[in-house]
Structure 1
Amino acid sequence: MSAPEPIPGARLLFSNDAAVAQLNHGSFGLVPIPVQRAQQRLRDEMEANPPRFFGVGLEERVAHVRRHLAAFIGADPDGTALVENATTGVAIVLAGLDLGTGDEVVTTDHGYGAVDLAVDELCRRTGASRRVARLPLTAQDDDAVGAVLDAVTGRTRLVIVDQITSPTARVLPVRRIVEAVRGRAGERVAILVDAAHAPGILPDPVAGVDADFWVGNFHKWAYAPRGTALLTVAARWRDRIRPLAVSWSQPAGFPGNLEWVGARDYTPWLAAPVGLFVLRSLGVDAVRRHNVALAEHGQALVAAALDVDVPARTGLPMAVVPLPPGTAGDPAAVVALRRRISDELTAEVALNSWRGQGYLRLSAQVYNREEDFQRLVEGLPKLLGR
């Protein structure tokens, strides 16, 4: 397997440090220069006359952005609200459930750690409990559906499932999971799809899923400024959605009560359509093909250097490489190793400990080249050996 041909001009759209191998786009994204400039113009507009910026037409501008972003992911704009990030969206959903003693929330062991912490905190305060569906790293769709369904009981009130898993970089069959849970429990169980990575990776990730809630970030793979995400809410839940901070828009109800919170910084949202313009200018499908091919190529190179086997390909621009046994097996070791890779190899990567096994998660974006991965090939075996 060879590295894909670069997309002409794409690398010049980003301002990342050329001395650093940036292989962690999946965590924080990288904002293209045209989007940075658009956001700065919006900041300049805001600071030139804050009362006018916040007081004249801002709600309509935000609504226009929401419609634009919702169309990109195949969502109903009237059932969608802009929020800061997926974690905030999850917190909003959890706050509207009114869980009590004996209620259960089902998650999977591929979920995002901050979401697990939020659920555990909610359970501590309400007397509810969390059940974890364990899925093998290379679970087939039938296995994933069966594992989640087996965790659902008569006390289950909410199921949270990732569309693309963060620690393990897998695509889960969320549409089938939703259908299976609906068939088992009807509308007694709400379903939240954590789709933090989906916008920009999966085409129309909301369309046809029919979950009660879906939340996805635009700052990772859709080139938006950080602080841009969408939360979609099924019609039967919209009257029960509560903003985390009540403000003047509360009487308007969903989605305005989530979006309009006084003097927040709205410039990431207003600049987000420029990110989609950049993505479409490069070619959405061309970017996806390039990033997937480069991630798989980089995964193969690093795995060969470490002499480890890799899981089956997933068709994502993120790929995991298992680390040797005993490496990064707990959160403290993960933090320490990630810092060493950054300091000693001048490379940025994502590391996770999953079931006591350390995994390196490599992302590929249009600004990456094969030599970014070669930095790990040449330096990581020696670093781990020390």
Structure 2
Amino acid sequence: MRTRQQDIDSATPTPAAFPGGAELFRLGPAVAHLNHGSFGAVPLPVMEARRSLIEEADADPDAFFLSVPERLAAARHRIAAHLGAEPEGIALVTNATEAANLALDALGLGPEDEVLVTDHGYGTVTDAAARRARVTTVALDPELPDEEAVAAAVLGALTPRTTVAVLDQISSPTARVVAGPALLAALRERGVRTVVDGAHAPGMLARPLAGEPDFWFGNLHKWAYAPAGSAVLAVGAPHRAKVPAPVPSWEHGHGFPRAVEYRATADYTGLLAAPEGLELIATLGAAKLRRHNAELVAYGAETLARLPGLTPLPYGEELAMRSLRLPRGLARTHAEAAALREEIATRLACRVLVWPWPTGGGIRLSAQIYNRAEEYERLAAGLKGLLDGR
């Protein structure tokens, strides 16, 4: 992770557009879509694959739905190959929130258990832990300098009652690595089971399952180019038999992962099309794509950091997201952050994430192959005028 002064001293050159990147998506040209990290965007080839599946299901529903369990298994094998996972160690689910609840149910938590979370965690995941056990929240200063400092803060908050840690792999608001391999190893040595929220990892990280957590889950609809409603839950071998099926079905007797994946008559077309997104990334060149996105978001963050009052936060150089602190006093609450986000969207035609923090929140940028350097320059120019008026 790097500091503000390092960013200023070694500015990133203006990155070139990714060849053919914008043409792969059907995004409205009037808006600068700088928030890929929230909902993703589906490339045209993946849309076409899903459309073909929908047409197949409409043409012969019996044949389609009778084939779903085996086709889900085949899709799972293709996805596992890209994630570096065991095909029988992952299950296809609809989103990270569902996966978090399945993982926490599998742990069989009770009132005697203490679950460690951080104040950078995703709200619905933290709430899921709080509904099942006593929760201790670690306060992580957004400006902690590096992963080692983050790990020290987490380990320093453990108590004799701590049995589980629920941690972000990449924090959603502040775009920083929390559950890195070194921290996971240290927790394992202390007998703490780990649940890792890897919502942003598939498609962004070369090794999304690094560190071997007990449970890991990641969305495929963000950086892996899959349709919405596509995610993965990875479970360590000792825990697989304990994962409950969201909907007990005719596949219930097969156990994990088939019993978790199949939920009777539902729309499976997004999950069945999901491997196409990861295979498109491989075709485009996964390392090239990741490098482009990391360099482009670095340029965007450095462009915004020239504005008075905006302070870049420490970051992982391989990530395609960056966060900056806003001037003190802005976006202190969820309501204030949402209002500023919508003001930026309405007045500047730019989509970003604005996150709240008690003393003043921040702005998170994403970069994807459909983005261009001038979109970040446009955001910076408009944001300067907007902030000057406050």
Please state which band the TM-score falls in when normalised by the shorter chain: over 0.9
- Quote the residue 1:322 is aligned against: 325
What percentage of residue pairs aligned between the two structures are identical?
Answer: 43
Asked if 1:334 is matched to 2:337, the reply is yes
Partner AA of 1:215 in structure 2 = F
Corresponding residue to 1:99 among 102, 105, 109: 109
CA shift, 1:173, in A, is 4.7
Asked if 1:346 is matched to 2:349, the reply is yes
- Quote the residue 2:137 is aligned against: 132
CA shift, 1:281, in A, is 2.0
CA shift, 1:119, in A, is 1.9
Contact 2:91/2:260 (<8 A) preserved: yes
Q: How many residues align?
A: 376
- Quote the residue 2:44 is aligned against: 33
Aligned Cα RMSD in Å?
Answer: 1.5
Q: Distance in 1 between matches of 2:351 and 2:308?
A: 18
Aligned ranges for residues 282-293 of structure 1 at < 5 Å?
282-293=284-295
Asked if 1:110 is matched to 2:124, the reply is no
- Quote the residue 2:18 is aligned against: 7
Asked if 1:373 is matched to 2:376, the reply is yes
Q: Distance in 2 between matches of 1:248 and 1:151?
A: 44
Q: For residue 328 of structure 1, give the secondary structure of its aligned residue in structure 2.
A: coil
Partner AA of 1:11 in structure 2 = A
Aligned ranges for residues 167-206 of structure 1 at < 5 Å?
167-185=173-191, 189-206=192-209
Q: Distance in 2 between matches of 1:247 and 1:157?
A: 32
Q: Distance in 1 between matches of 2:112 and 2:179?
A: 28
Q: Distance in 2 between matches of 1:156 and 1:280?
A: 40
Partner AA of 1:190 in structure 2 = R
CA shift, 1:252, in A, is 1.1
Contact 1:215/1:230 (<8 A) preserved: yes
CA, structure 1 residues 139+378, in 2 after alignment: closer, same or farther (shift >3 Å)? closer
TM-score by length of 1: 0.94
CA shift, 1:313, in A, is 4.0
CA shift, 1:254, in A, is 0.4
Q: For residue 175 of structure 2, give the secondary structure of its aligned residue in structure 1.
A: coil
Partner AA of 1:147 in structure 2 = A
Q: Distance in 1 between matches of 2:271 and 2:131?
A: 29
Partner AA of 2:87 in structure 1 = P
- Quote the residue 2:57 is aligned against: 46
Corresponding residue to 2:34 among 23, 35, 38: 23
CA shift, 1:355, in A, is 4.6
Q: Could you list the per-position Cα deviations for residues 241-297 of structure 1 after superposition, in whole angstroms to 9, with x for gaps in the alignment?
A: 112222222111100111011111111111112112221222111111111111011
Contact 1:10/1:282 (<8 A) preserved: no
Q: Distance in 2 between matches of 1:329 and 1:224?
A: 33
- Quote the residue 1:120 is aligned against: 130
Q: For residue 193 of structure 1, give the secondary structure of its aligned residue in structure 2.
A: strand
Give every structure 1 segment of 4 or more consecutive aligned residues whose post-TM-superposition deviation is greater than 3 Å.
none
CA shift, 1:183, in A, is 1.4
CA shift, 1:172, in A, is 2.6
Q: Distance in 2 between matches of 1:72 and 1:277?
A: 8
CA shift, 1:142, in A, is 2.7
Asked if 1:75 is matched to 2:82, the reply is no
Contact 2:176/2:314 (<8 A) preserved: no
- Quote the residue 2:9 is aligned against: none
Q: Distance in 1 between matches of 2:148 and 2:303?
A: 31
Contact 2:80/2:86 (<8 A) preserved: yes
Aligned ranges for residues 47-62 of structure 1 at < 5 Å?
47-55=58-66, 57-62=67-72
Q: Could you list the per-position Cα deviations for residues 309-343 of structure 1 after superposition, in whole angstroms to 9, with x for gaps in the alignment?
A: 31234211111121111111110101111111111
- Quote the residue 2:259 is aligned against: 257
CA shift, 1:307, in A, is 4.2
CA, structure 1 residues 282+306, in 2 after alignment: closer, same or farther (shift >3 Å)? farther
Q: Distance in 2 between matches of 1:176 and 1:116?
A: 22
Contact 2:119/2:137 (<8 A) preserved: yes
TM-score by length of 2: 0.93
Contact 2:171/2:178 (<8 A) preserved: yes
Corresponding residue to 1:241 among 232, 240, 243: 243
Q: Distance in 1 between matches of 2:284 and 2:148?
A: 36
- Unaligned 5+ runs, structure 2: 1-11
Q: For residue 354 of structure 1, give the secondary structure of its aligned residue in structure 2.
A: coil
Q: Which moved further from structure 2: 18-27 or 341-350?
A: 341-350
Q: Could you list the per-position Cα deviations for residues 326-385 of structure 1 after superposition, in whole angstroms to 9, with x for gaps in the alignment?
A: 111110101111111111111111111135421100001111112211221121122232
Q: For residue 254 of structure 1, give the secondary structure of its aligned residue in structure 2.
A: coil
Q: Which moved further from structure 2: 109-118 or 62-71?
A: 109-118
Partner AA of 2:263 in structure 1 = V
Contact 2:337/2:356 (<8 A) preserved: yes
Q: Could you list the per-position Cα deviations for residues 93-119 of structure 1 after superposition, in whole angstroms to 9, with x for gaps in the alignment?
A: 122222222321101122112212222
Partner AA of 2:79 in structure 1 = L
Q: Distance in 1 between matches of 2:110 and 2:202?
A: 33
